[in-house]
Amino acid sequence: MAQKVEQQTPETAVLTAKIEDLKKFITIIGKDSRFAAGLWVGFVKGLAIGIFVSLLLVGFKYMLLRGGL
């Protein structure tokens, strides 16, 4: 049984190329937005940990100055 060969007209080839191009751009945008979201979450976590540790150290210093420990 012979295999059927599909030929594309120039118009369908252009449309197919545009669709593939759009798919690639959508994938790239998704990867970029996921990276940016991860970067932002890392920044917020770091800020929260920094504030927590700073308050903890200030609390210990305050307790030591007042003779609490």
Write the DSSP assignment of 12-66 as a string of letters: HHHHHHHHHHHHHHHHHHHHHHHHHHHHHHHHHHHHHHHHHHHHHHHHHHHHHHH
Check residue 1 and give its pLDDT.
61
pTM of the shown model: 0.57
Check residue 69 and give its pLDDT.
56
Of 4, 33, 34, 28, nearest in space to 20 by CA: 28
Check residue 15 and give its pLDDT.
92
CA-based radius of gyration for the chain: 29
Mean pLDDT, the chain cut into blocks of 10 residues (69 residues total): 75 92 94 93 96 95 80
Alpha-carbon gap, residue 60 to 54, rounded angstroms:
10
